[in-house]
Structures are given as C-alpha cells and as structure tokens.
Amino acid sequence: MTIHKEGYTSIAITGIIFVVINLISFYFISGDMPVLSWIIFFATLGLLLFIISFFRVPTRQLTFNENQIISPADGKVVVIEEIVDDEYFKDRRIQVSVFMSPANVHQNRSGVAGEVVYNQYHKGKYLVAWDPKSSTENERHSVVIRNPKGEVLFKQIAGALAKRIVNYLQVGQKVAQNEEMGFIKFGSRVDILLPTDAKVNVKLNENVKGGVSVIATFA
C-alpha cells in the first residue's frame, strides 16, 4: 500500500493539528483532567488515521481485458439504468453508477484503453452523491475514451462532502486500461455511460473494486 500524492498536504496539515492539539492538552489539561486529555488524544489520532486511510492506494492484481469495461472506482453500484445522455452522446446509453463512501479508496482509473476524445469540467451543486440529480447538477468532470470497441464516458461527480475533483487526462491523450484517471476527495460517485448493447456484469448494491471488478462487456 502507498499514499496518493493528493493526500500529502492534507495528511501534513492533519498531522500538525494532531501535534498542536495534544501538546496544548498535555500542558494545560492532563494534570487536572487526565481522562479528558486521553479522550482528546484518541479522537485526534482517529482523525489522523482516517485521513491517512482515505488517501491509501492498495496494491492489487488488476484486471486487463480489451473486451471489458473495468470499474473506475471502489464502492457500491447504486444505479443501473438506460438514460438519454445530453452532454456528449446525445442518444441513449446504459448508466452504471458507483457510489464511493468516505471509507472507500478514492483513486479513479480508466476502465478502458483508448484515446481521450472529450474532457470537460462542470461547476455545480453538492447534492448527496446518491441523489439522481447529482449526475447532471453536481460539480463533475466528464471524460470520454474512444476504444476500438466503442466510446465510454466516465463522469467523476462531487458529493455533499467532496469539494475537489482532480482529473489528470487531456484530449488526445492515449491511456491504458486501469491507468490513473484522477481522484475525488471525501465521498463522491463515478458514472459510467456504456453503449446500449454492452452486457452489464454487475448488480445493484454490489460492491466493486477499482481496476479489478468487471462493470460490463462490449458486444
């Protein structure tokens, strides 16, 4: 396991806060209220460990298959439905949405190999990530990757807690399957828009792993 580069600043700030708060607690509280001082220590330690855990990047045996769309994120499948995409395709697509809780790994990967043909950031609201309107109204970043089997849109969506979406891809860039696509901080969701003839391999409420679980198979 490693720590994602997006977490370096957050972990450093949290570490400094941990040290300062506990130094103050040790000098001014521990003598008269040792129990309170220990409560403060464990509470702040828990926060520090949570922040470190949030930015973890676990070592995994990744799945590679040119006929398959691999999950771009860890989380739970909360949507499987046919929709009309108004942003890029302008036609019907199968949408599969993966909700990431704060406890999930938040690194996002490219579910297919190919060329980036569309990359667009959209300002928006911060509705809870499981709200159906979050796909079109929340802050989000959409990327379309053109694969010989078809084009797939990956949409990183901010949630009520997520305030920063990071996307590393650029139009014209060639990406490998499971190559890092970006990162979303503190709870969010990723939508995958598939061709209507794709075979979906996951079920609602199924837990998936980024870079490992097969979301769908090209026709």
End residue of a domain, out of 57, 85, 104: 57
Report the predicted TM-score, pTM, of the whole model to 2 decimal places. Answer: 0.86
pLDDT of res. 30: 79
Active site residue 213: no
Which one from 25, 97, 134, 188 is the annotated catalytic residue?
188
Tell me: do 44 and 75 sit in the same domain.
Answer: no
Pair (206, 99) in one structural domain: yes
Whether 28 and 101 share a structural domain: no
Residue among 169, 54, 65, 151 at smallest CA distance from 109: 169
Residue 168 lies in a domain: yes
Q: Per the structure, how many domains does the chain have?
A: 2
- What are the Cα distances from residue 9, in Å, to 55, 59, 117, 145, 165? 11, 22, 32, 30, 15
Q: Three-state SS across 160-217?
A: CCCCCEEECCCCCCEECCCCEEEEECCCEEEEEEECCCCEECCCCCCEECCCCCEEEE
Q: Is residue 185 part of a domain?
A: yes
Q: What is the span of the domain harbouring residue 26?
A: 2-57
Per-residue pLDDT tens over the stretch 73-119? 999 999 999 999 999 999 999 999 999 988 898 899 999 999 999 99
Q: How confident is the model at residue 216 (pLDDT cuts 50, 70, 90)?
A: very high
* CA 97/CA 180 separation, integer angstroms: 18
In a domain, 63, yes or no: no
Residue 62 lies in a domain: no
Same domain for 143 and 118, yes or no, is yes
31: pLDDT confidence band, cut at 50, 70 and 90?
confident
CA–CA dist 174, 187 (Å, integer): 28
Q: Looking at the predicted structure, is the pLDDT value of residue 39 above 60?
A: yes
Predicted confidence (pLDDT) per residue in 147-197, tens digit: 999 999 999 998 766 567 899 999 999 999 999 999 988 768 899 999 999
Mean pLDDT of 10-23: 95
With H, G, I as helix, E, B as strand and everything else as coil, classify residue 61. coil
Q: Which of 157, 107, 153 is nearest to 133 (CA)?
A: 157
